[in-house]
């Protein structure tokens, strides 16, 4: 019998760590993988799995305060669940390995594990069952919904859908703004010290503006945002100084900062699809004849693109305009009823998506040749 794992206690609010890890989220923050106790779990308590990203583990434990559960931390290279699953670092292999090596089976009398919904791009539940005999299901998107989900066993529409609330937007602003302000402010401190503070403030203001407004703007948003920022920075500089170099910097810097802060905007929120594959116009496509109404696609889609048709035991792609091409539904469909198809009818088959951990969210170094 293994030693009972340590309880995760509540000193999980560590202001210094919280600030540091929020501002430098672009770096991996690994925590020890393995089994942990939340509260006083027994053999019937639920088993929850997450990646070994320190910030997530602490926030998860905080959200579960008052619950009794087993928390299995799987190695994900210290990266958050969404990025690790999409990038192939939290996959079926890591989940099966964690289930088999953590000893969790010795502490519970069931074989049910709850995975984070945003791991659905990388972890195939059928494969987890085949290789470990654990039944995996996907819990809610947000850790805050876990207590309600554990109590009712029901995943509501709101629990399935990804949101980008103000608190998350400000964290993303800090994630991109802090390192950018440090680099630009540091450079200015070295070359022209008087510019350091104004440049750092400009970056801070632009980060907040980009992450609160950018995805709500139209197609020409980069241009509109760049022009608005140049106009604002130049006007403020002109009002406070007549230095020609300062004015030139105020005219040029916002363009550069906009490019820097938005180049991976899609990677900062599961709300937005990547634009790298736009030219192929890949669309999520459903073959209704193959669909058998298992509803896994409905369970994992972060944009709630599917509607159930219970009378027919099928789904329909009722909101495909919201699709961000994450591939989660394709990976999970046991009938291979979902695939990506481009305007010419060329398909990316589900097995290719699963095998190469290929999603269309960001730039991936996978040749398009096999699909042509
Ligand atoms: S598309 Fe696939 S996962 Fe979705 S309901 Fe049909 S069979 Fe199930
Ligand atoms: S690929 Fe599109 S439809 Fe499928 S889960 Fe992702 S967002 Fe939903």
Tens of pLDDT, residue by residue over 211-240, are 888 777 776 777 888 888 888 888 888 888
Q: What is the CATH number of domain 278-371?
A: 3.30.70.20
Task: Quote the pLDDT of residue 354.
Answer: 80
Pocket test for ligand 2, best of 157, 277, 317, 326 (most atoms within 8 A of CB): 326
Tell me the average pLDDT across 304-315.
Answer: 90
Kindly state if the Cβ of 338 falls inside 6 Å of ligand 1: yes
Burial class of 53 by CB neighbour count within 10 A (0 to 12, 13 to 18, 19+): buried
Task: Quote the pLDDT of residue 364.
Answer: 35
Q: Kindly report, residue by residue over 323-355, the tens digit of the pLDDT.
A: 888 889 999 999 999 999 888 888 888 888 887
Question: Residue of the nearest CA to atom 6 in ligand 2?
Answer: 326
DSSP 125-187: HHHHHHHH-PEEEE--SSGGGHHHHHHH----HHHHS----HHHHHHHHHHHHHHHHHHHHHH
Domain boundaries along the sequence of the chain: 15-160, 166-268, 278-371
Higher pLDDT, 71 or 13: 71
Quote the mean pLDDT of the chain: 85
Tell me: domain 15-160, CATH 3.10.20.30, correct?
A: no
Question: Residue of the nearest CA to atom 2 in ligand 1?
Answer: 333
Q: Is the pTM of this model over 0.75?
A: yes
Question: Which of the four pLDDT bands, split at 50, 70 and 90, describes residue 162?
Answer: confident
- The answer to whether 255 and 224 are in contact (CB under 8 A) is no
Share of the chain above pLDDT 70, in %: 87
Task: Quote the pLDDT of residue 190.
Answer: 92
Measured from the alpha carbon of residue 121, the closest ligand is 2
Kindly state if the Cβ of 145 falls inside 6 Å of ligand 2: no
Task: Quote the pLDDT of residue 68.
Answer: 94
The answer on pLDDT for 41 being more than 50 is yes
The answer on pLDDT for 113 being more than 50 is yes
């Amino acid at each position: 019998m293994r030693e009972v794992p340590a309880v995760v206690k509540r000193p999980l609010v560590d202001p210094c760590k919280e600030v540091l890890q929020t501002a430098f989220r672009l770096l991996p923050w690994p925590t020890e993988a393995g089994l942990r106790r939340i509260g006083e779990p027994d053999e019937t308590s639920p088993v929850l799995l997450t990646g070994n990203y320190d910030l997530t583990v602490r926030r998860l434990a905080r959200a579960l305060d008052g619950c009794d559960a087993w928390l299995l931390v799987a190695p994900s290279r210290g990266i958050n669940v969404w990025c690790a699953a999409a990038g192939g670092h939290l996959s079926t292999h890591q989940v099966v390995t964690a289930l088999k090596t953590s000893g969790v089976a010795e502490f519970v009398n069931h074989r049910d594990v709850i995975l984070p919904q945003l791991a659905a791009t990388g972890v195939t539940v059928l494969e987890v069952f085949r290789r470990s005999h654990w039944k995996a299901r996907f819990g809610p998107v947000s850790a805050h919904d876990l207590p309600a989900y554990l109590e009712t066993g029901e995943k509501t529409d709101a629990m399935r859908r990804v949101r980008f609330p103000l608190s998350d937007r400000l964290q993303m602003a800090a994630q991109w703004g802090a390192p950018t302000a440090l680099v630009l402010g540091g450079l200015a401190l070295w070359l022209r010290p008087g510019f350091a503070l104004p440049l750092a403030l400009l970056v801070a203001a632009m980060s907040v503006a980009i992450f609160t407004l950018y995805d709500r703007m139209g197609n020409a948003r980069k241009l509109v945002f760049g022009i608005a920022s140049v106009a604002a920075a130049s006007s403020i500089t002109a009002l406070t100084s007549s230095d020609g170099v300062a004015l030139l910097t105020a005219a040029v810097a916002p363009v550069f900062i906009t490019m820097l802060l938005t180049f991976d905007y899609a990677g900062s929120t599961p709300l937005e699809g990547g634009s790298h594959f736009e030219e192929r116009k890949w669309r999520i496509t459903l073959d209704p004849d193959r669909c058998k109404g298992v509803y896994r696609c409905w369970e994992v889609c972060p944009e709630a693109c599917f509607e159930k048709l219970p009378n027919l035991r099928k789904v329909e792609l009722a909101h495909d305009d919201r699709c961000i091409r994450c591939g989660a539904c394709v990976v999970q469909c046991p009938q291979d009823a979902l695939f990506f198809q481009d305007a010419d009818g060329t398909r990316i088959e589900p097995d290719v998506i699963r095998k190469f951990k290929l999603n269309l969210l960001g730039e991936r170094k996978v040749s398009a040749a096999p699909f042509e």
